[in-house]
């Protein structure tokens, strides 16, 4: 029964609302249980469904703190992370998701959790002239998800985000290469353009990089002749 309870909760964690949670719970237990932990869970889900994510966090945090061994604690852990995500508090969301994965490594929600970690980084991807840590972290997370759960629906969703990560990283290499090229640091530029060709061959920068590889090599040859 304990496993069924966890499965029932997980089913609604990643898509359904409070009413679905109540129905699933009552169907499995055969009764409508009441109590302070359940009340906090219901209130938290109501706030979450209404988009009141700050209030939801408050309810779920109280549930975690006051009733850490409650059957609803796992719901609180995940919905705290989800609420931080929708508030665009990505650092807090990542920490909460990572804690969930660490505490429940075999839980049915782990593929969803890894996917959400990837989204936290993915949503922070900026222009190619900015820090590419989010793109790199998102790529690593989605690749890990695919490796660990290749047949899961969330792995397939993660795969759909990988091209943008690669394009952002390739664009950054190209951007830095152009900076070096314009500054006449042709060897440094050549390394960047070659990195685009070897690491990101089909994401939109291949032909441009090829052109500047040739230009860099020609400029390097000219410098050698002159010197």
Residue 125 included in any domain: no
Lowest mean pLDDT among 26-30, 130-134, 148-152, 156-160: 26-30
| Residue 58's CATH number | 1.20.58
Q: Is the pLDDT of residue 100 over 50?
A: yes
Q: Is the pLDDT of residue 14 over 70?
A: no
Residue 6 included in any domain: yes
Q: How confident is the model at residue 224 (pLDDT cuts 50, 70, 90)?
A: confident
Q: CA dihedral in degrees (163, 168, 173, 175; nearest 10)?
A: 140
| pLDDT for the residue numbered 85 | 98
Boundaries of domain holding 36:
1-87
| pLDDT for the residue numbered 28 | 42
Closest CA to 101 of 149, 38, 165: 149
**Percent of the chain at pLDDT above 70?**
84
Mean predicted lDDT score pLDDT of the chain: 88
| pLDDT for the residue numbered 98 | 98
Q: Average pLDDT in the 187-216 region? A: 95
Residue 63 included in any domain: yes
Residue 206 included in any domain: no
Residue 54 included in any domain: yes
Q: Average pLDDT in the 194-212 region? A: 94
Q: What is the phi-psi region of residue 126: left when phi exceeds 0, alpha when psi lies from -120 to 50, beta otherwise?
A: beta
Residues in CB range of 22: below 8 A, 6 or more apart: 32, 42
Q: Say if CB 204 and CB 166 are below 8 A apart.
A: no
Residue 19 included in any domain: yes
Total structural domains in the chain? 1
| pLDDT for the residue numbered 3 | 37
Q: Say if CB 164 and CB 171 are below 8 A apart.
A: no
Q: Average pLDDT in the 169-182 region? A: 97
Q: Is the pLDDT of residue 5 over 60?
A: no
Tell me how far CA of residue 125 lies from CA of 35, 38, 113, 135, in angstroms: 43, 38, 19, 6
Residue 131 included in any domain: no
Separation of CA 174 from chain center: 25
Residue 20 included in any domain: yes
Q: Is the pLDDT of residue 4 over 50?
A: no
């Amino acid at each position: 029964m304990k496993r069924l309870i966890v499965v029932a909760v997980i089913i609604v964690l990643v898509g359904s609302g409070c009413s679905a949670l109540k129905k699933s719970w009552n169907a499995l237990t055969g009764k409508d249980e009441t109590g302070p932990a359940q009340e906090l869970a219901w209130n938290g889900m109501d706030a979450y469904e209404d988009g009141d994510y700050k209030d939801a966090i408050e309810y779920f945090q109280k549930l975690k703190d006051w009733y850490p061994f409650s059957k609803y604690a796992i719901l609180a852990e995940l919905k705290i992370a989800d609420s931080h995500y929708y508030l665009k508090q990505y650092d807090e969301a990542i920490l909460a998701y990572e804690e969930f994965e660490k505490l429940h490594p075999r839980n049915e929600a782990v593929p969803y959790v890894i996917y959400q970690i990837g989204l936290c980084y993915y949503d922070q991807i900026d222009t190619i002239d900015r820090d590419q840590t989010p793109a790199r972290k998102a790529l690593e997370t989605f690749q890990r998800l695919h490796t660990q759960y290749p047949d899961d629906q969330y792995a397939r969703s993660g795969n759909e985000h990988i091209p943008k990560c690669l394009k952002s990283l390739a664009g950054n290499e190209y951007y830095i290469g152009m900076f070096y090229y314009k500054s006449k640091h042709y060897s440094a530029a050549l390394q960047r353009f070659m990195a685009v060709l070897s690491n990101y061959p089909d994401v939109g920068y291949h032909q441009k990089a090829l052109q500047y590889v040739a230009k860099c090599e020609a400029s390097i040859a000219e410098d050698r002749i002159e010197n």
